[in-house]
Structure formats: structure tokens, C-alpha cells
Chains A and B, each alone.
Chain A
Amino acid sequence: MTEIRKVGICGAGGTMGAGIAIVAARAGFEVVSYDQRGEALARAVKQTDGFFAKSVERGKMTDGNREAVLTRMSSTTDLEALADCDLVIEAIFENLEVKQELFGNLNNICPEHTIFASNTSTLSITQIASGCGREDKVVGMHFCLPAQLMKLIEMSPGLNTSEEVFNLAWNWTEATGQIPVKTQDKPGFILNALLVPFNNDVIRAVEAGVAEPADIDKAIKVGLGYKMGPLELIDLIGLDTQIRLCESFYPVTHDPRASAPPLLRRKVAAGHLGRKSGRGFFTYDGNTMFGA
């Protein structure tokens, strides 16, 4: 297997893809950003320029470095442009069939040695790899939001992933300055496996009248030293996103704690989606937060 020099990012017009492209380019890799939506890609390019300009402003990189990084980055809406990548990381929609189709198509385009990595939060790496034609070269590489700032990556081998490929991908994450942790290919890996049921427990506690949202958040922040209360975090994640997470988890795990609590569904039906709609468990006016 050859060394990783060129990296393709699929879904690079999205939140995660754009951040992952920054991580790779900043570490000296040539990056091809691909998305099916040209306008999303154009927006991501603009945001990336802004990000690096700020890095220079803050003294985190020199202007020369910024220019060098930007010349290593290109963007495209043509999947064929990933033909000479050594590693392709996908961060497209969280949908098994869509991800399987992408890897199947990439398998016909990319050379034999190319490693495919998935940034999925909830899907199985083994299932995403299944039928793509190179099941031994698919790994889970779950970045945290925002990828350009968060160092942690959950790395998971699928059942058919070769050890050599896993180690190459692992070493690549370290070469980018990230911190990988190894997890089995299980729903939600570590982070979401702990967080999704916990968040639902918190919502159920509100529904059960255990305490007001502000008291729950205060207890967790003061008692455990969390920077953000769980309900504040759910408002930030989005209540609709929390339902989507439940809908990925519950059918796979059948853990009752992973099923969407009735209060969550009522709130989403009422348009209380969290921060983005101005109201979730708390009410937001601009950047100010009020109690529920």
C-alpha cells in the first residue's frame, strides 16, 4: 500500500466535510473537496478562506502558510476528480443506501489502494462497506463538530477491514494532529452511544416533572462541572436532529432509552426545535438565553 498524499472529501459543502477538508489541508495534504451541490461547495470555499484568514490574524499561521494551504485545496462537483486520491473521507447525508452507493461508485473510479473512510455518527461501518467492492479498505473515522477545532476522532474497523488499512488510516489521523481513539463498529461508537440515551433520559426527566429545565442544567453544570447543561446542548444540537438520531438508533438497538421521548416529538411538532427556531427547552432572543 502506498503512502497517503492526496485526500478526497465527499460532502465537503456540508458542516462536517468542510471542517475535515481544513484539517487535512492544514496538515500538508493535497485535498479535493467534492459535493453534489455546487452552491454548498462555493459557500464552504468562502468559509474556509475566512477560517484561514482568521488563523493568520490570530497568529496561528503565517500568510505564506495560508497561501500554501489554499493552493493544496481544490473543489469539484465531479466525482471523477477523486480518481487519484489515496484516501477518501465521506461526510455526506446520514443515510445507509446513499453512503453505500457513493462507495460503490468510488470503487470504480479510485485505484485499488485507496482507503475509504466514513464520518457516519450512527451507521455501521461494516454495513456501509458491504457490497462496495473493497470491504477490507473501509474504516470508520468519526470527527467531532466542529472538525477544524475538535481533535478527537473515533476510529472503527468494520468486520472486514484489514489491519494494515486500519493502521494506515489511524496513522494518517495522527499525522493531521488529531487524536484517534479505537472503538468497535457498534451503533454510535462511544460518543453517541453514551450521549443519545442520556439526552433522552434528560428529556424524560423534564416530562416526568423531576425538575424545571433550568434546574436540571444547573445541577449537571454545578455538580459535574459540565460547561453546558444537557438541555442547553439538546437545544444547540436541535430537537429535530435528536429525533433523527433516535430514529437511527432505536431500530438497531431496541434500547427503550434510545427511542424518542413523547415530549421531544411534541416539541418538534410545535416548532420548538431549539436554538435555531428561537425556542426549545429554553427561549432565545438573539444570543440571550432565558429560562424555559
Chain B
Amino acid sequence: MHYTIDLSGESRSFPTGDPFLKSASSNADIAIYLGALFKPDDTKAAILIELGTECLGVHTGENAGEEGSNVLGFSRYRNGDDAPSSLIELVRQPATLASAIEAAQTMFESAGFEVALCSDQAGRIIDRLMRPKYNDALRFLDEGLATAKDMDLTCRMGLGYPDGPIERVERGGLGHHYDVTKSLFEIYGTSAYTPPRRAVVAKQRANLK
């Protein structure tokens, strides 16, 4: 399936050199916006906007729960500066056209990605679910529950995870964790999303430099 890319700056989903960028064609049925301002176009099978921490509604506008068109949001999951994964979180609105969802899904899957469809809520699936867990682990570390090494080992050995929460959030960058949790906290307002002390420290240190 063909797609056109409108790129401005560096995309988190498809960094420079990513094969997905190279396979784009011009004036295709699916238009993908990576950082560039999107232009509505009803004639397209689907329009895809790469999202950061913001909701799709920021780009499309919302209409009392009846919003939706041929425009979808997406993000290729990436733990901070780790290499991007093969997961695409595809974001729909309540009235998004089924044909647009199908076109987007088919296009990503034929490019070798796996697609998880979700609604337009803060943090989509992964950040919504994982950031509170990283916050718990970072708080446990401060409180002396166990060492970082032992917490990570426990999750790897006891739950079969490929990595533990501390090593993962640190690898992704505590400053990045701060940015994500701050934006989630703005919407959810619960302590689960409060940027944890270690992330605040990392952010403040980065600002000192």
C-alpha cells in the first residue's frame, strides 16, 4: 500500500534513515504527517498524524464525542532514545471512518509493523499503563524497599520480563520520563502520574547545563 510522507524535523517514530521513510511515494492514497502541519483532505483513504504526548484532538478539533473523520493519530512505541519498536499505536476518535482505520492498519502491517488500535486518551496504551509502574519502582528505590538491581532482577526472574522497570526507565531517559509523566498528570491529575523525584532531579540537572 502506498503512502506519502510530509516530514518536518526529525520523527521519533521514523528517525532519519528508517526504511519506512525511503518507501514513501508521492501523492499516494494515504498521507502521513511527521511533524508537519496536516491539511484535511476527504479524498484520502486515510491521513495519519504522528503524535507525541498530545491527543489527536489537538490536531483535528473535537465535537462533543462525535469527532472523527479519515484522520488518525499514531505513534511508533519507543522507550525514550532506545531504537523504535515494531509497535504502532493507532489512535482513533469515536466517529473515525472504519475504512480509514482499515487502510492505516493494512498499510502499517504490510510495512512489517504490528498495530494496536486505541482511543484518543492520554498516554495511549503503553505510557498510560507503564509510567505509573516506573513511578512506583522509582519511589520504592527512594524508600529503600530494595536495590535497583534487585527490583530489576525480581521483574526479570519472577515475571519473565526482558528488563526491569528501573533499568528500562533509566535507559529511556529520566528526563524523557519527566516530560511524559508531566503531560499525563496534566490530564489525569492522579498521584500515579506525578513526575517522580528522580525524574524531576534529572530534568532540573539537564536544565542546569
Interface residues of A (CB under 8 A from B): 144, 150-152, 154, 179, 181-184, 186, 189-191, 193-195, 197-198, 201-202, 205, 208-212, 215-216, 218-220, 222-228, 230, 256-257
Contact = CB atoms under 8 A, between A and B. Distances in A.
A219 B77 contact: yes
Given A150-B157, A182-B150, A223 B126 contact: yes
Nearest to A185: B145
A218 B160 contact: no
Contact of B145 (A151, A183, A216, A227): A183
Nearest to B131: A201
A184 B145 contact: yes
Contacts of A257: 132, 192
Closest 3 CB pairs of A and B: A219-B116, A181-B150, A211-B118
B150 A193 contact: no
Given A195-B159, A209-B119, A181 B154 contact: yes
19 contacts: A152-B153, A152-B154, A152-B157, A179-B153, A182-B150, A183-B146, A194-B133, A194-B136, A194-B155, A194-B165, A198-B129, A198-B132, A201-B129, A201-B192, A211-B119, A216-B129, A222-B77, A226-B161, A256-B190
B146 A211 contact: no
A181 B161 contact: no
Interface in B76-100: 77, 85-87, 89
Contacts of A223: 77, 85, 87, 126
A210 B151 contact: no
B9 interface: no
A151 B160 CA distance: 11
B128 A205 contact: yes
A147 to B, nearest CB: 12
A145 to B, nearest CB: 9
B68 to A, nearest CB: 14
